[in-house]
Chain A
Amino acid sequence: MLVIKDLTKIFYRGTSNENTALNNINLTVNEGDFITIVGSNGAGKSTLLNSIAGVFPVEKGKILLNGKDITCQTEYKCAKNIGRVFQDPLSGTSPEMTIEQNLSLAISKSNNLSLKWGLTSYKRKIIKKHLKKIDLGLEDRLTTKVKLLSGGQRQALTLLMATVADPGLLLLDEHTAALDPATAIKIKKLTAELINENNITTLMVTHNMEDAIKMGNRLIMMDDGQIIYDITGKNKDNLTIEKLLKMFENKHGSKFNNDRILLSV
């Protein structure tokens, strides 16, 4: 369970550029929740995920993951329990290393680093088993360097790496936005599969309204550093893009503005 209490993040505090990116956010994410997050540009979606991941210290508030206070820990310490996938398919893997070497790092994530061999025949077996799940034939290309893979293949690998160690929380930030439409659909399908298989608690930022409505069990809309809607259950099942945009306009007073917004696939 993830509990966020009174979270405030201010960039350039005390300068003329002062910018309150998160304004007193309160959010309780239940075990197994799959939350989609939408909102206009600059609403604070990425900042919310970055704060949870410990990328930067926050001005105020607490973040508790499974009862443990993880506020203001450094990024790498938080990462032990958090899986992340970013928009850029290049950001989640090591290009000069092979597929199996990358996955080896991801699998031993929860252990402390040691002088044990990075790859053993046992570990290779596990790696193959995981790669079969993503169904791209990568299990037959274990020793291929990751830089030789396509963007979609790399993002699928990143997704697998983010989930193999069974993280307490998965953070996805527009992780299909840089892919072509056909590949994006495949990766979204894979995302749902991997999340369901391990029942991983997930926050997924997306600019695709349809995905936000169809995927997950809960939808959050952010605006100007605040959560303006938190929709679950029946209400979410009955959502349509039109309703969602209308709701935004009611609250915000003007049209939903996101330069990357996609109303349909």
Chain B
Amino acid sequence: MNLSFALTSLEQGLAFALMALGVFITFRILDFADLTVDGSLPLGAAVSARLITAGVNPFFSLAAALFAGGLAGTITGFLNTKLKIAPLLSGILTMTSLYSINLRVMGRPNIPLISRETIFSITEDWGLAYPWNNIILLAALIIAAKLILDAFLNTQLGFALRATGDNPQMIRSMGISTNSMKMLGLIISNSFVALSGALVGQYQGFADVNMGIGTIVAGLASVIIGEVLIGEHSIVVTTLGVIVGSILYRFSISIALNLGLAASDLKLLTAIIVVIFLSTPRLKKILR
């Protein structure tokens, strides 16, 4: 394993870290199995790429992606809380619609960004040499997002969001609408995921309508790796675990590919790993 290989995994892990945090918010905090993610990740990439090709500042395109992701979350929230469609199906419906929407946004299935100005080319122009421009920029963005999320989860509103996933009856008894809390969680989560999509698109040099397939499983794998490593802790440590999990997940994938695994078998492997991890608590019980 050489250095450039390690650096690439680190970059990828960071670019996808916000997606993992998004999955953490819905699956772990809100207890809402949200599959919108497979659509909101490419949505973020699509919005960002389209704006960049239209000459918009790449940093501004990140904000637009964030906003678009929030809208996607709103749709899923509306389907679930207002139309009473089950969480899983609500997410699937939004995700499926997003496939068409993403094609509309891009105007074609793939937008290359290789020769375009991106946040990474801009920071290179600031005098930061590759790979440090990538790593410093991504790390700064991810740490900032993490700290904002940590702070939010320790506000009164954040407490209410956390308790909603934990015990909705208690939240209603406290005079708080669980529907509003679910909506809020879905918006924050999908904003994070879409922002991650925009980062990934600019990092890899293209946005593709199919780049979202398997996102949710990769996100879950990252969350679980973080949990296994770190165990039960305060929010600040737990979200750090998710970021580290995202990086380690990309590392393991690179290693598997280096060992000769066919890239096309990756998603199967990831799914199997997630199944194994998800069943470990049960395995432990059985073995005891």
B178 touches A (CB below 8 Å)? yes
Segment with Cβ contacts to A, from B97-105, B150-158, B253-261: B150-158
Is A114 a contact of B170 with CB atoms below 8 Å? no
Q: Interface code B133-170, partner A: CB below 8 Å = 1, 0 otherwise?
A: 00000000000000000001011111110110011011
Q: Which residues of B contact A113 (CB under 8 A)?
A: 156-157, 160, 176
Q: How far is A96 from B172 in the complex, measured between Cα atoms in Å?
A: 17
Q: Which residues of A contact B176 (CB under 8 A)?
A: 76, 113
Is A105 a contact of B177 with CB atoms below 8 Å? no
Q: Interface code A88-115, partner B: CB below 8 Å = 1, 0 otherwise?
A: 0011111111000110111011100111
Across the interface, name the chain A residue whose C-beta is closest to B167.
A94
Task: State the interface size on chain B (CB cutoff 8 A).
Answer: 22
B4 touches A (CB below 8 Å)? no
Task: State the interface size on chain A (CB cutoff 8 A).
Answer: 34
**Known interface pairs A115-B156, A117-B155; A97-B163 also in contact (CB < 8 Å):** yes
Q: Which residues of A contact B127 (CB under 8 A)?
A: none
Is B156 a contact of A80 with CB atoms below 8 Å? no
Is B156 a contact of A114 with CB atoms below 8 Å? yes
Identify which of B152, B155, B157, B173 contacts A84 (C-beta below 8 A). B173
Q: Most chain-A Cβ atoms within 10 A of its Cβ — which of B155, B158, B159?
A: B159
Across the interface, name the chain B residue whose C-beta is closest to A53.
B173
Across the interface, name the chain B residue whose C-beta is closest to A111.
B156
Across the interface, name the chain B residue whose C-beta is closest to A108.
B156
CB-defined A-B contacts under 8 Å, sample of 7: A77-B175, A84-B173, A91-B169, A105-B156, A106-B174, A108-B156, A116-B155
- Residues of chain B whose beta carbon lies under 8 Å from any beta carbon of chain A: 152, 154-160, 162-163, 166-167, 169-178
Top 4 A-B residue pairs of the complex, sorted by shortest distance between their CB atoms: A94-B163, A80-B175, A79-B175, A118-B159
